[in-house]
Every structure is written in structure tokens, then in C-alpha cells.
Structure 1
Amino acid sequence: MRTVGLRTRVTAVFALGALAVSAAIAGTTYQLVRTSLLDERERAAVRAATLDGSLVRQGLSADEPDIALVLRNLETGETRRPLVRTDGAWFSRTADAGFTPAVSRELRQLVESGTPAVQRVEVRDDPVLVVGVPLQDGASYYEVTSLAELRRTLAVLATVLGLVALATTLAGAAVGSWASRLVLRPLGEVAQAAGAIASGDLSARVARDRDPDLDKLALAFNAMVDEVSARSEGDRRFAADVSHELRSPLQTLSAATSVLARRRQDLDGRTGSAVDLITAEVARFEQLVTDLLELAKTDRPAERRPTDVLALTRAVVGSRGLPPDVVESSAPSALLEVDPRRYEQLLVNLLDNAANHGGGAVRVAVRVQDDGLVLEVDDEGPGVPADERELVFDRFARGRAASARGGSEGTGLGLALVAQHVQAHRGTVEVLDRPGGGARFRVVLPGRPAAVPA
């Protein structure tokens, strides 16, 4: 399962925090407003019902009261429905529209006992407020007030509060994203500088920060890089000096073995074999010194420039005596921003490795993609065991893979140089199984496709 990034988690925490706070505020606000509006509507309904009840009481005090007429004279508007109950019968100013069932038995008993009462119920799925007022001679007056408008008002309020909570959540997410970028910016700069250092640019540093805590991180990182740079430079100079000092005696040995080799026919068999052995070992030693000098240079950053990697690949393959059809590519040319010297060196080393340990290269594939280059070199040797595929890129690596792949005439630095050149490009290199047998070395170099010169 993929781990969620720190920036995403920080943003989510801010968003959830904003959602929780806004939801709590919105819920509290809704409840307070709802309670306040209901209480206010109830007080207004009680006052109106009490006033109307007094008018009905006066109307019923006549000798022959007309209850329907008394109710029609009341100004109750469209939201209040007056009802009178006397001698077990209901009276209304219009035909019963279904409001008498809204008066519950408990409410009726309470009012008929002489106690005013209020109750909230629903009539045909609409909320109403029933107010009961006792009259003379056991009669009672009821006023049914519709709360539909109040329900609509509360629905609008809930919608507005929900939108406000949503906007607050989005604002919290935006603040979280901004805060995470601000907090993680130094880490991004450290990662960028570390990547540059890994590719050989030991001059990369992290800028100082005004924040004292973050400034400590920058100072510690830069001090570490200075120490690493000093040690790396010392190692590089030591390797270069040693290799340079070895060249003079090696040249003398090489000249001497060349003289012996030219007179080999004058020597007996045992002496001639010894001369051949010395000549091969001196040549191997010279290659080792050359590789050490090259390895000392690999700590420097890659010098990228627009390069036709396909043309360079074909030139290197041709210089190694391989047929042109070994190179595979879907395009006639492939311009990419790479270091041509490093690319040529890593390809030469892969081809030499295939020749020395894998019976020679049988396929060299070049693919340029939007995000970089993929280079594959196949051989037809025994392949590399899975448990040694990381070890073959170490310096002077020796193991079952090297033995099984054809001897030890190499210096043990070829694939280490390949790894260094790939790292300078911030790329990757791996060993795979070639379909049909053999090894496949795959190199991925990130880089932008170069523009074609006008």
C-alpha cells in the first residue's frame, strides 16, 4: 500500500480540523437560532391566542352567541386557524380542514381543566403550534399556528451554514497546503542539494534561513557537505596521484615487454609463454590505471549538452567491431541533453563487459522518451545470478557471476564506472535476464529531449 506523503497528511489535518470546528460552530449556531426562533414564535402565538381568546369569550357572553360569526370576526391571517370546543362539539369559521385532530386529547383535557397549554405537532407533514385557552362554562379556545415558514427559514439557515462549513474546510485545506509547503520547503531544498551532490556536484549547498531552527538544519547540512567534499577531493587527488605515479614505471615495463614481444621468435617455448603472460598483465595493469584515473574524475557533475545519442551509440558500436544491425531504435535520431563523454564511456564499458564475460553484445537498444533515455545492452552469456546483481557494480567485484561469465581479464572497475556515470546523470542501472538466455543491462538516464538546431 502506498504511503501518503507528509504534505498530504498536513493538508488533511488542517482540512479535517477546519471541518470539525466549522461543523461544531454551525451545529451550535443552528440549534441556538432554532431554539430562539421557536421560543419567539411560541411567545407570539400565545399572546395572539390569549388576545383572540378574550374576544371569543366576550362574543360567547351574549344571550344567543353565533360562534361561527365570532370566529369569522377574528383577524388571524393565513397562518392561524381558530377553533372552539364547547359541549363536546367543535366550531370553526370554515369547514373543518383537518385541524381538529391536531388538538391532542391530553392538551384538550388540560385546557378544559382551566389551564392554558401549548403543544407542537404535525398536520399533514407540516409543523404547527397549538395554543389552548380555557373559556367560560367549560368551553375552550384553540389556535393552530402553522410553522411551515419557520421550517423553510431553518432549512435555508442549515444550507447556508453547510456552505459556510464547506468553504471553511476548503480554506483550511488551502492554509494547510500553504503551511506544509512553507514548512517542508527547507526539506525540499535539502533533497535537491543532496540529489545534486549524489550526481557529483559537490558545490551544492542549502541557503541560510531567517528562522533560527531551520537555519541550524542548513548550517549542519552545509558543514556535512563541506566535510564530504573535502574527503572526496582528497580521495580523488590520492587516486589521481597514485595512478599518475604508476604510469611512469608502467610505461617503462610496457616498452620492455614490447621489445621482448618483438623478439619472441628467438626465445624458447617456456620463455615465450612467460613473455606473453607478462605482456598481458602489463596491459591489464595499464587499463587498471586508466580506469582508476577515470574513476577519480567521476565525482564531478555531468556536463549535459544536446547530443545525438543514437549516432554516438552507432559510432561506439562500430568502433568495437560490432555489426550495425546490433543497434535497435525506433527513430532515425535521438537528441537528448546528456554528458556525451560519460555516455560514451558507460556504453564502451558495457560492450567490453559483454565481450569479456558474455560472449559479446547481441543487441543494443536505444529509446528516447519524454522523461529521458533507456539504453539496453544484451549478451548471450550465462547471465548474472539474482543475488549478485547489485554486487557486480561494486569496485573490484568478484563472485560466482564473474567466474561464470568468462574469466577475469577485466580490471573489476568497468561496471563500477558505469554505475558512477549513471549516478552522475541521476539515473539507474540494473541487470535483468535476457529473454532466451544471457544478461540484459538496462540504463535509464533522465533528461529533456534536446531541440533540433534551426
Structure 2
Amino acid sequence: MLHLRPSGTRWLPEPVRRGLTFWRRSIQARVVASTLLLSAAVISIVGWYLVQQTRDGLLDHRVDAVVAEANDETADARDRLLAVPGTDADAATQKSDLVTPIIQRGETRGFSVVLAGPTGEGGRIADGGTNSTPGLATSSVPLSLEEHFDGSSSTAWTYTTIRSTDGDGVTTAQPGIVVGSQVVLPADAQTYTLYYLFPLDEQEETLALVTRALLTAAILLLVLVAGMTWLVTRQVVSPIRLARRTAERLAAGQLQERMKVAGEDDLARLATSFNQMASNLQRQIRQLEELSRVQRRFVSDVSHELRTPLTTVRMAGDMLHDARQDFDPATARAAELLQTELDRFEVLLADLLEISRFDAGAAVLELDDVNLVDVAHRIVDATRPLAQQRQVTVVVRAPGHPCLAEADVRRVERIVRNLVTNAIDHAATDGVDPGIVVQVDGDEHAAAIAVRDYGVGLAPGEASMVFNRFWRADPARARTSGGTGLGLSISLEDTHLHGGWLQAWGRPGEGAQFRLTLPRRAGQVLRHSPLPLVPADVTEPVS
């Protein structure tokens, strides 16, 4: 079985989704986060620069000190060699006498010594024959510094890693500086090199202390920046949130809600303007509500008041219509026209009363299980005389099983009747019977009826206007069914009362289709319709 990952962020863990929701909805959180990121970047750059400057300063000072100390040791060694008697020809003893005092002073002053040589014979420290501080690895002297003295006798220095072994056999390594100087041994007149290795542990500890101090200061500074940004943005965001909550209450119908005004700054002026806008909206809404109430009352009163005179006129009209055979042709025709217009006036009066009930919120449903297939057949049979008069054929296409919906059968029949008579009114009149198709279908969630005609169709934008009261696509077109212009409006109100959909599609010259969709159970939310809104016999243009 194929499993699809849920769309959006629903597959994420609940805490992550809540965090993303908070991030999207909180401008305060985004401002604080962006400020922290920018501050962290600036502090990192400044901190890195300060650490580099401190490191360079410490190293430069240490280099100057160790070079000076190495030069002093070398000068002292040369002085001692000059004082050696010329009869002393033991080079090994002179080397030992030369380096031993330096090693002893190094142990007290914190540096190590290596005496290598003689030079000029291809000898290297790695070849052996050196005198050095006990425990010091002679490999601590880099080869690059040894190579320097192959062609130069000037004092030189470089950075290195000092490796040594203590009395317990533990080997340590630490950064350091090695300074090399050359001396001439009188016993053999050969040149030897003294290497002084000074550790940088104090400078390393100082640099680590500075780094920790800067890091602590950076963290504290970021916390302070976050707090200050939060407080500053809160002063701006809080009135905005208050305005949002007030606007939500106004949208919910609590028109008396207002914002609190404090101070005279820009936010206070915004709150004042918002309150003025709310007051104006409240006044206008109340005026519209009063006007709507007066209008509904007027329509209801007029409709009721017209019933009595209409009944009297209806009785007189029936008498004239029944006696029209005794009249001359012109009077008989007038009696027939009077009867037709009285029928239309009664329908209009009934529609106005129904509209007034919808406006007053007094319309109720009498729910029952309704088979839309039976409804479609009943309506088609009832409108067959009108269809024959227009020379139009109306057919029903329905599945072999019932399409049930929990609905008010009277209102559903009125909706379908209005759709079918509207299709007959707008069918083609060029002498060719295009037919009208009433299609019914349903599934486990919804049931639908679609009425398809092949008449004049609807221009772009008219599909949303066709349900307006008294709206007509062509005012000059006659209503052969005696419609009042309120049928589709009442049908839409009936559909909304059921929680359904009533939609229209049309294209000039290709007819129109109206689709009624009802939920299978009252109160269910519609997700789709069993029938397409655009007919299957229509080819959509390729965009």
C-alpha cells in the first residue's frame, strides 16, 4: 500500500509545529531573533579581532624578551670562552663547561637549551652528539632553523612545539619559541649552535583567560540585547496586539469595543484614529441594520396588506375569465391577460413573503430523507407542458440506485423547479431542439442535481450575478414561464439553509449548467460534489 506523507507541516512533531506557528505569528520573536543574530555576528567579528590583537601583542612582547635573554646568554657564553686558556684542547670538556651553566640557569628561569655542532660537517641535531637540558626532546628544534645556520651566523628565532619527558616518563608538548645563536669553541676552533627554547604557557593561559572573559562578556551582552530588544518591541507590539484583539471583537459583532488611549505619541494617535473608525463603522452599521429592518418590515407589511385586495381582484378576475365566452374578442383577450397577470402577481407576492422570511431569519427546515432521483422525475413531469410549449425536450439521467439526502422536500423541489424552468426560458429558439439534461448522482457524502441547457449561456462574470434578486442577463428577453426574477435568489437561500452549494457555469453560445449539491446528512460540511460543475461535453480552452 502506498503511504503519502501529509502535506504542509503536519508530519512534524507537535512541539516543532507549535514553534513554527509561534514564529510565523509573532513579529516580536522575529525582531528579537534577527537582532540577536546580527548582534552575535558583530560581537563575533569584534571578539575575533580583539583576540587576534591580544595574541599578537603577547607574542611580540614575548619574542622581544626571549631574543634579548638569548642574546645575553650567548654574550655571556662568548665571554667565558674568551677566558679559556689556549692550552686547553679538550673540546668535549669545553662544550660541557659551556652548556652546563646555561642549562642550570634555564631550569631556574624556565627555558631549555640544546648545544649542537660543529657546523660545516653536515651534522644535525638528529645525528647525536648534542648537549641539552635533561628530558628535552631535541626534535623540538625545527629543521628549518638548523638549515638557517648552514649559510648564516646571525641570531634567528621561530615558533615550535617543545616536547619533553618528566621523571615519571610522561611526555608533554607545549607551544614555544626557539632562538638560535652560534659560538666558536677555542679547543677545536669549530662553530657550535646554542638553541634556547622558551615555553609560551603563560601567554597561552593569558590568551585563554582573555578569550573566556570576552566570551562571557559576549554572552551577557547578547542576553542584555535580547532583553532590551524584547522590551522595546513590546512597547510597539502590545498596542498592535490590542488593536488586533479589538478588531476581532468588532468583526464578531461587539461594536462597542474600543482601544485604550494613553499618551500623545504615534501609537496613541493610532489608537484614537482606530476608535474613530470603529465609531463611524458602528454608526453606519446600525443605520444599515435599521434600514434593513425597516425594509424587511415594509416588504412583509405590503405583502400581507396586498393579500386582501388581491383576493378580491382574483374573485372578480375569475368571474370575468369564466364569462369570457360571452364577450367580444377584445374583451375576452383582456380577461385572459388579466388572469395571467393575476397568476404572476400571486407568485410574486408569495416570493416576496418567502424572501421576507429569509431576511428575518424565520425560515426553518422540515427534514426528511429525500430521493433526488424522484424529485428530478416529478419536476420534469410537472414542467413538461412548458417545455412542449417551447419545443424543448427535458430528459433525466440518473443512476439505478437512490440518491438520498436529509433535506426539506418542499424546498428542494422548489430549487429544482426554478432551475428547470430557468433552463427552459433560456433554451435555444432557432427551431432545433437542443434538449435539457437533468443529471443526478450521489456518493456517501453528498448528492447532487445538475441542470444543463444549450441556450444563450452566460458571459464571463455573470455566473456570480445570476443569483441576485431581479437580475436578468438580457432585460429585453421575455419570461415564458412567468417568472418573477426571485426564483434563483430563493433557490440560493434554500440551498444555504441546507448547508449546500448552488453554483452556475456558462459560456456564450454553449449554454449553461446549474449544480445543486446537498450533504447526505444535515449539518455535514461539504467537501466535494459528485457531479462536475463544467459539463463533460465542454472543452476548456488551453491557456
TM-score of the superposition, structure 2-length normalised? 0.53
Match of 2:344 in 1: 284
Q: Distance in 1 between matches of 2:306 and 2:259?
A: 51
Is 2:370 aligned against 1:311?
yes
Moved more, 326-335 or 242-251: 326-335
| Alignment map for 1:31-430 (pairs within 5 Å) | 31-32=49-50, 35-36=53-54, 39=57, 63=81, 64-65=94-95, 94-96=137-139, 99-101=142-144, 112=155, 130=177, 141=196, 143=198, 183=240, 186-187=243-244, 190=247, 194=251, 204-206=253-255, 208-209=257-258, 211-212=260-261, 213=271, 215-216=275-276, 218-267=278-327, 269-300=329-360, 311=370, 313=372, 317=376, 320-321=379-380, 333=404, 346=415, 349-358=418-427, 362-364=438-440, 377-382=450-455, 383-400=457-474, 403=477, 407=480, 409-419=482-492, 430=503
Distance 1:299 1:268, change over 3 A: same
Match of 2:10 in 1: none
Cα drift, residue 277 of structure 1? 2.2
Q: 2:339 is paired with a residue of what secondary structure?
A: helix
Match of 2:4 in 1: none
**Matching residue within 499, 512, 524 for 1:449:** 524
Cα deviations by residue, 1:304-357 (Å, 9 ceiling, x for unpaired):
99967x72756754653569965679996556xx99997776555434433543
Cα deviations by residue, 1:126-162 (Å, 9 ceiling, x for unpaired):
x9775759899997746475999989x989x99xx89
Q: Distance in 1 between matches of 2:348 and 2:484?
A: 6
Q: Where does structure 1 lack aligned partners over 5 or more consecutive residues?
A: 1-5, 197-203
Q: Distance in 1 between matches of 2:322 and 2:426?
A: 29
Q: CA contact under 8 A between 1:42 and 1:129: conserved in structure 2?
A: no
Cα deviations by residue, 1:216-250 (Å, 9 ceiling, x for unpaired):
55444433322221121122222222222322222
Cα drift, residue 18 of structure 1? 4.1
Match of 1:201 in 2: none
The one-letter code of the counterpart of 2:471 is: A
Q: 2:490 is paired with a residue of what secondary structure?
A: helix
Q: 1:311 is paired with a residue of what secondary structure?
A: strand
Q: Distance in 1 between matches of 2:500 and 2:243?
A: 24
Q: Distance in 1 between matches of 2:412 and 2:198?
A: 94
Between the two proteins, the alignment pairs up a number of residues equal to 411
Q: 2:466 is paired with a residue of what secondary structure?
A: helix
Is 2:13 aligned against 1:28?
no
Cα drift, residue 432 of structure 1? 1.2
Distance 1:47 1:388, change over 3 A: same
Match of 1:440 in 2: 513
Q: CA contact under 8 A between 2:376 and 2:438: conserved in structure 1?
A: no
How much identity, in percent, do the aligned residues show? 24
The one-letter code of the counterpart of 1:28 is: V
Q: 1:412 is paired with a residue of what secondary structure?
A: coil
Q: Distance in 2 between matches of 1:329 and 1:189?
A: 55
The one-letter code of the counterpart of 1:414 is: G
Distance 1:188 1:141, change over 3 A: same
Q: Distance in 1 between matches of 2:105 and 2:364?
A: 98
Is 2:37 aligned against 1:16?
no
Moved more, 230-239 or 394-403: 394-403
Q: Which has the higher contact order (CA 8 A, sep 6+)?
A: 1
The one-letter code of the counterpart of 1:16 is: S
Match of 2:169 in 1: none
The one-letter code of the counterpart of 2:451 is: D
The structure carrying a bigger helix percent of its residues is: 1
Cα drift, residue 362 of structure 1? 0.8
Q: Distance in 1 between matches of 2:510 and 2:447?
A: 21
Q: Distance in 1 between matches of 2:141 and 2:402?
A: 85
Cα deviations by residue, 1:350-397 (Å, 9 ceiling, x for unpaired):
34433543565612456786xxx7855322231223253344233322
Cα drift, residue 98 of structure 1? 7.5
Distance 1:306 1:271, change over 3 A: closer
Cα deviations by residue, 1:198-218 (Å, 9 ceiling, x for unpaired):
xxxxxx334625533265554
Q: CA contact under 8 A between 2:499 and 2:523: conserved in structure 1?
A: no
Q: Distance in 2 between matches of 1:186 and 1:315?
A: 54
Q: Distance in 2 between matches of 1:187 and 1:327?
A: 51
Q: Where does structure 2 lack aligned partners over 5 or more consecutive residues?
A: 1-22, 82-93, 126-131, 162-173, 185-192, 262-270, 383-394, 428-434, 526-543
Distance 1:65 1:430, change over 3 A: farther
Answer with 1 or 2: which has the greater Rg.
2
Q: CA contact under 8 A between 1:130 and 1:143: conserved in structure 2?
A: yes
Cα drift, residue 295 of structure 1? 2.6
The one-letter code of the counterpart of 1:449 is: Q
Q: CA contact under 8 A between 2:99 and 2:115: conserved in structure 1?
A: no
